[in-house]
Amino acid sequence: MSVVTKKFIYISDLHYEHRLWRNELAFYKEELQILEERLKEIISKNSHYEVVANVDSYQNRFDLQRDHISELKHRIKKHDHFLAEYAESHPIATDHVHFQDHTALRNDMDRFRELYYELKTEFNQFAVRWM
C-alpha cells in the first residue's frame, strides 16, 4: 500500500514560480518565431524532396509547441487567479497559510522543456544540413 504525501508551499513561492514560468514561456514562444523564420529560409533555398518532406513536419511540431505554451499559460493564469482570490479574501492569513504545491503543473513544465529542447536540437541539426 503506497502512501501519497502532499507537498505544501507558501503562496509567495507559488507566485514566484508562476512569474518565472510565464517569462520562460514567452521566451519559447518568441524563439519559435525565430525557428519558423529559419524554416522559411531553408525551404526558399532548397527544393530537395527531403527538405520539402520535413518542412510540414517541423511546422506542425512548432504549432503543437505553441499550443502547449498556450495551454500551460492558461493553467498558470488560472492557478494565479485562484491564489489572488484567496489572498484578497484572507489578506492577513496569506503569509502563514500553506497551499498544496502545484506539482502536476511543475512536472508538465519540465516535460515541455524536455520536448521543446529535443525539437529545437533536431531542427537545428536539420537546418545546419540544409543551409
Q: Residues 58-94: pLDDT tens digits?
A: 999 999 999 999 999 999 999 999 888 877 887 766 6
Q: Structural domain boundaries of the chain?
A: 8-130
With cut-offs at 50, 70 and 90, classify the pLDDT of residue 96: low
Q: What is the grid cell recorded at 86?
A: 484567496
Per-residue pLDDT reduced to its tens digit, 99-109 = 777 789 999 99
Give how far Cα 99 sits from Cα of 40, 86, 90, 109, Å.
46, 10, 13, 19
Q: Pick the closest to residue 109 from 11, 23, 5, 32 (CA basis).
A: 23
pLDDT band at 10; cut points 50, 70, 90: confident
Pairing state between β 98-100 and 8-10:
antiparallel
In sequence order, which residues have a C-beta less than 8 Å from that of residue 15 and are 6 or more positions away? 80, 83
